[in-house]
Structure 1
């Protein structure tokens, strides 16, 4: 099957995209150089651990806190609905990857362009995807720094006075090195390590919470007392849950790394990997959320590992595992952005593909996310704010809108009904969750000193 990836040919644009390239660079060469499409030799299990790495990260650590804001029944319902809806919308995206016979939609914005037209589709999808991935990377900067600081505080008490800023800079230095990985498939070892770490620290959080038992004086109602506080907490909690299902912004890019043919389309191995990943996600999310809330109730921290203190060596190990995991997660979310940056530099600014633009472009992006993380390192508030504002559209309802536009299911059929349920749920999340997250950021900022 020919692997033609640009939509100018699909949408009737008569001007060849090659005219936007430097004279000595053609479209085929560029596709073989860009990180998303450079290698198409991935196996189905690459999809599994890429998706686990993309999903089971900072979000799972905040789920017990979200449960304390919602309560037992609403919390379990929110987790269950989110797992079901996002699995369905991810299936939609996997199915639509090769919606055009003989061509592949390798990037999220290309799917949007196919559905809504080259210009409108690009501007509907691209800004949301960029914000999702940049927001994830900022949160991973904060998470990695918090976890590494906690690890050293447990191992050596002398580290306790060192500012969180320095740990963010350490994390950024690691990312500066890893960001020079040429393509998605070159990250497979990093992503596999990250996936193993995510499952391991989730298991530690679950087991340690169970062994610790109930915190004295804790209760299982919602953590706030006034109606206003409860309302804002619910909004923020829904955003935290939405943040936990963030893999949709990279799913097409992951599928782009897989080989395809008429006999064996890429959706077959991709979906097999997704199912394995979602089974692992369910185990991690529900075990950590329920055990953490059971153990600490309304006293649980917005990062469950901050609530767990004993045995010290095991908690130190779990925090270091979180650090290793978010190192890999950062790269999985950053790689599509690197692809966008390098496409812009080559097509718009006429730079020649090569090491210099990768070094400058990727390093600049890492430095930008580090700067934002230093300025607003509020873990819980960031989850709620970003989870509702941009993760809800990307994961909950944008795939459904595209599905309705392209596949046109009959009214009140299964796919029509489920798509509209996801659209309505996602839009409510997008409107309400950022309100609660922003309020928490404002409250945390009152006692915060910059660069502390």
Structure 2
């Protein structure tokens, strides 16, 4: 388990509280990926958040709309956007709520809210499920998009196994994973953010160009009531997966400089607002136009439904690959920080390049291996990811806010947080039920390493 004392991270320029860390502790904090570099600008926050939030899952949103239907689908999209923006604002506010301290990591805030040990046990497992789970999904997504690009560009070529494409995708991470901290991956993250906007635009613009399909049907795909209900639950999980950026938001804010006069929440919030506008520009047109044009005949990846023009679909898949490379790094960095913290602070390994080289390569290899073994991991994630995605994004920030800020009972803040908690708990219970059904359906026809 990882344990940082929040007091480890002090304002360098805050004279009201002396820095009590030893030289050794300072050296370790200056080496760890999250706390080593604090010179980020507000726009770093914008594109890091876009890269973290807009996953390739956006291409599956028209399919989620088909399972939800027009009314519930639009309502779920809007409510999710509003609720997650609110909970993200709470986390940005709580980053420096104690004068002289910065909660640089999600679990540090958890420890402050729930106690040193309990906070760790509540937050770390959930955060790890999300971050490692997303990394595995992105291994599969990157490999799948590379395969689609190859198949479109060279339709007459010999068929190559998905396994090999996942390995090709992983090879980029065996190199990029050795960038030391968040600021060093800002270039990769910027490219990824631009790509997410690009392929989202291609998806909805190509749908508009194709027009509404003949005999379009907006009814539910499933014919049985049970099928409709379970598909609905699964779609809720897909939408929840679309808003997973909260798991890295404090870690992103930790890279922004802060003084008592100019706290980091100002530039961070500016970046978050820009990011959320871009998220809306990606999510809403793709999901609504995609469903409007194709109805319930839409595939779980809208690029498959489009098929033509071939060059545009090939380009969109290549954009997905570049974006997913950046997203993988954004989610891997807090995991690297946890692993390196345990090794250096608990097991007393010497902070070195060799340590970083070995641990990060092992992590990339592990996510690659699981991705190759279970390429239907998307269903797996709505199953057990529902237990972690919904809490860390939808209601854990609200519980922390109630525990730390203690708003007056029945006040607007109190009601808002409790409504978010109820919605989040419902999502946490319902999404895994739909996810389990998806796994059972896909596992029936699945062959290992095909």
TM-score after normalising by structure 2: 0.94
Q: Map 1:2-13 onto structure 2 (within 5 A).
A: 6-7=5-6
SS of 1:161's equivalent in the other structure is: coil
Asked if the contact 1:303–1:380 (Cα under 8 Å) also holds between the matched residues in 2, the reply is no
Asked if the contact 2:7–2:101 (Cα under 8 Å) also holds between the matched residues in 1, the reply is no
SS of 1:93's equivalent in the other structure is: helix
What are the Cα deviations for residues 154-176 of structure 1, in whole angstroms up to 9, with x where unaligned? 11124461111111111111111
Deviation of the 1:218 alpha carbon: 3.3
1:32 aligns with 2:47: no
1:404 aligns with 2:427: no
Distance in 2 separating the partners of 1:17 and 1:401: 30
Q: Map 1:126-141 onto structure 2 (within 5 A).
A: 126-141=124-139
**Equivalent position to 1:171, from 169, 176, 193:** 169
1:374 aligns with 2:379: no
1:264 aligns with 2:262: yes
Distance in 1 separating the partners of 2:377 and 2:66: 16
Going from structure 1 to structure 2, the CA distance change for 1:451 and 1:422 (only over 3 Å counts) comes to: same
Q: What value does the CA root-mean-square deviation take over the aligned residues?
A: 1.5
1:439 aligns with 2:437: yes
1:73 aligns with 2:71: yes
What are the Cα deviations for residues 24-62 of structure 1, in whole angstroms up to 9, with x where unaligned? x71110110001111000000000000000011122111
What are the Cα deviations for residues 347-399 of structure 1, in whole angstroms up to 9, with x where unaligned? 22221101111111111111111111112112652453355221100100000
Deviation of the 1:232 alpha carbon: 0.6
What are the Cα deviations for residues 115-166 of structure 1, in whole angstroms up to 9, with x where unaligned? 0111000110000001100111111111111111101111112446111111
Asked if the contact 2:135–2:332 (Cα under 8 Å) also holds between the matched residues in 1, the reply is yes
Distance in 1 separating the partners of 2:156 and 2:55: 28
Q: Map 1:217-256 onto structure 2 (within 5 A).
A: 217-256=215-254
Deviation of the 1:303 alpha carbon: 1.4
Going from structure 1 to structure 2, the CA distance change for 1:59 and 1:383 (only over 3 Å counts) comes to: farther
Asked if the contact 2:212–2:292 (Cα under 8 Å) also holds between the matched residues in 1, the reply is yes
1:357 match: 355
**Equivalent position to 1:180, from 178, 181, 186:** 178
1:424 aligns with 2:422: yes
**Equivalent position to 2:201, from 200, 203, 218:** 203
Going from structure 1 to structure 2, the CA distance change for 1:392 and 1:35 (only over 3 Å counts) comes to: same
Asked if the contact 1:109–1:121 (Cα under 8 Å) also holds between the matched residues in 2, the reply is yes
Asked if the contact 2:110–2:119 (Cα under 8 Å) also holds between the matched residues in 1, the reply is yes
1:415 aligns with 2:394: no
Distance in 2 separating the partners of 1:195 and 1:400: 28
Higher mean displacement: 366-375 or 75-84: 366-375
Distance in 2 separating the partners of 1:53 and 1:130: 18
Distance in 1 separating the partners of 2:387 and 2:299: 23
Higher mean displacement: 185-194 or 437-446: 437-446
Distance in 2 separating the partners of 1:331 and 1:307: 29
Asked if the contact 1:7–1:110 (Cα under 8 Å) also holds between the matched residues in 2, the reply is yes
Asked if the contact 1:138–1:370 (Cα under 8 Å) also holds between the matched residues in 2, the reply is yes
Deviation of the 1:263 alpha carbon: 1.1
Distance in 1 separating the partners of 2:368 and 2:46: 28
SS of 1:263's equivalent in the other structure is: coil
Asked if the contact 1:135–1:386 (Cα under 8 Å) also holds between the matched residues in 2, the reply is no
Distance in 2 separating the partners of 1:382 and 1:48: 30
Asked if the contact 1:97–1:267 (Cα under 8 Å) also holds between the matched residues in 2, the reply is yes
Distance in 2 separating the partners of 1:223 and 1:412: 42
Distance in 2 separating the partners of 1:206 and 1:385: 28
SS of 2:77's equivalent in the other structure is: helix
1:104 match: 102
TM-score after normalising by structure 1: 0.94
1:274 match: 272
Distance in 1 separating the partners of 2:7 and 2:43: 32
Going from structure 1 to structure 2, the CA distance change for 1:160 and 1:302 (only over 3 Å counts) comes to: farther
Q: Map 1:387-398 onto structure 2 (within 5 A).
A: 387-398=385-396
Higher mean displacement: 207-216 or 94-103: 207-216
Deviation of the 1:214 alpha carbon: 2.0
SS of 2:6's equivalent in the other structure is: coil
Higher mean displacement: 375-384 or 227-236: 375-384
**Equivalent position to 1:52, from 50, 53, 60:** 50
Higher mean displacement: 343-352 or 98-107: 343-352
Higher mean displacement: 130-139 or 191-200: 130-139
Distance in 2 separating the partners of 1:88 and 1:305: 31
**Equivalent position to 2:141, from 132, 140, 143:** 143
Going from structure 1 to structure 2, the CA distance change for 1:160 and 1:309 (only over 3 Å counts) comes to: farther
